[in-house]
């Protein structure tokens, strides 16, 4: 058995990606150009959206999307505490407040009932009384009561569902809540290339959807992202925001048919994707279905093997739930083990296996605790999941032998450390 280290994740590289990048390098046009335009068109077609704007990160996509739908100073952006902090920091970029709710214990995505209750409470004229009552009777977790300390009501302007680990949030319920209160829906689909929600591909359900192409993602350009929408005006606005607020097709000013002149129409940012990244993306997009099949096969093998390990709870495998297997997250049973999650990960590392944790709940970070007064116990479901979760390696180039080795390591660690 090989003792080569098995990383938590590794990009899938073929000669296609190498040749495509070399072609761009030799072309002399390395920044935003025709490769980006091709990638945007192809990706929009893949997810079933009318428009796509390529960017340098999913964070950028969330930022320009929230800005374009009108989120501003003092507004509220409702999202899950169980996410990477990029989801919440973009709200702060705009001077708004991230309004956190807990997660559903099964899907690990935002709890739609809590989201609806919080939106309704903050949309009421006497918002303090409505919010106090909802927290007081347990309809909302204690953390939502922290917003009572704000001087004015953080009126919800956007809802940001986070599709966790490739599983879709309850978009039917969430869209109904958002439309009832006339707020925008910007999906955080960093984990959700290939994901379906109630049979529909993620990418054209909400008002805008932001995807990540980071090195660990199912489709990777190293760094990069895409935001999709069916709204032409919204797409043009996001495209303008992504490049300094400059008028349309600013990148063509260096082309033989371009002009040196441009207009800055509003304050913007520097978020454009390069042709180098887009070349990678086109190759990855061409292979995405094959990579998805392999990811699902690995997940199924994990579930079959680890299902008999009493100290571990693995996610269920349901080929009809529309899940894209981005992450494979297991839950440890602390009552059955003599080691904690940190000790478990250390022992995996000793056996040459990388692992990670997804996610540290936003409200537990020192910055957010200081800003909003969050405390331990404010979002109990997210905290309980976080305390015992471990993300195992999952990437399409994993061999069957490597999958078997990971399973064997989990089995032996549990056997050696059972109460």
Positions annotated as catalytic residues are: 217
Q: Is residue 43 a contact partner of residue 390, using CB atoms and an 8 Å limit? A: no
Q: Is residue 16 a contact partner of residue 364, using CB atoms and an 8 Å limit? A: no
Name the helix (H) or strand (E) containing 60: helix 58-68
Tokens of 264: 């800055």
DSSP 317: P
Report the alpha-carbon distance of residue 7 to residue 333 in Å, rounded.
Answer: 24
Q: Is 93 exposed, middle or buried (0-12, 13-18, 19+ CB in 10 A)?
A: middle
Sequence-separated (6 or more) residues with CB below 8 Å from residue 258: 249, 252
Q: What's the N-to-C CA distance of the chain in angstroms? A: 29
- Say what the alpha-carbon torsion angle 369, 371, 372, 376 is, to the nearest 10 degrees: 0
Within 10 Å of residue 2's Cβ, how many Cβ atoms?
Answer: 10
């Amino acid at each position: 058995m090989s003792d080569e280290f098995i990383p938590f994740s590794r990009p899938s590289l073929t000669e296609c990606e190498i040749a495509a990048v070399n072609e761009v390098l030799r072309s002399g046009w390395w920044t935003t150009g025709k490769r980006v335009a091709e990638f945007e068109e192809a990706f929009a077609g893949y997810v079933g959206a009318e428009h796509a704007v390529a960017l340098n990160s999913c964070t950028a996509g969330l930022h320009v999307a929230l800005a374009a739908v009108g989120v501003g100073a003092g507004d509220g952006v409702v999202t899950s505490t169980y996410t990477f902090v990029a989801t919440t920091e973009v709200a702060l970029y705009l001077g708004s407040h991230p309004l956190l709710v807990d997660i559903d214990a099964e899907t690990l995505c935002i709890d739609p009932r809590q989201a609806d209750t919080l939106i309704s409470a903050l949309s009421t004229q006497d918002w303090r009384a409505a919010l106090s009552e909802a927290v007081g009777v347990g309809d909302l977790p204690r953390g939502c009561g922290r917003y009572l300390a704000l001087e004015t009501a953080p009126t919800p302007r956007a809802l940001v569902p986070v599709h966790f680990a490739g599983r879709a949030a309850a978009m039917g319920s969430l869209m109904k809540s958002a439309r009832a209160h006339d707020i925008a829906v910007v999906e955080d689909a960093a984990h959700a290339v290939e994901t379906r929600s109630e049979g529909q591909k993620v990418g054209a359900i909400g008002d805008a959807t932001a995807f990540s192409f980071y090195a660990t993602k199912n489709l990777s350009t190293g760094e990069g992202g895409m935001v999709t929408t069916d709204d032409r005006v919204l797409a043009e606005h996001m495209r303008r925001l992504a490049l300094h607020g400059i008028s349309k097709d600013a990148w063509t000013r260096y082309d033989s048919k371009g002009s040196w002149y441009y207009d800055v129409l509003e304050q913007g940012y520097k978020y454009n994707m390069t042709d180098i990244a887009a070349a990678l993306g086109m190759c990855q997009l061409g292979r995405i279905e094959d990579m998805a099949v392999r990811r699902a096969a690995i997940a199924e093998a994990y579930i079959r093997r680890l299902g008999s390990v009493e100290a571990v709870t693995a996610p269920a495998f349901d080929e009809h739930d529309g899940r894209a297997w981005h992450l494979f997250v297991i839950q440890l049973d602390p009552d059955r083990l003599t080691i904690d999650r940190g000790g478990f990960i250390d022992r995996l590392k000793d056996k040459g296996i990388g692992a990670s944790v997804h996610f540290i709940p936003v409200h537990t970070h020192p910055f957010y605790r200081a800003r909003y007064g969050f405390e331990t116990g404010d979002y109990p479901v997210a905290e309980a999941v976080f305390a015992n979760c471990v993300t195992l390696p999952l990437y399409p180039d994993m061999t069957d032998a490597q999958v078997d080795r990971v399973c064997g390591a989990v089995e032996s660690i549990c056997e050696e450390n059972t109460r």
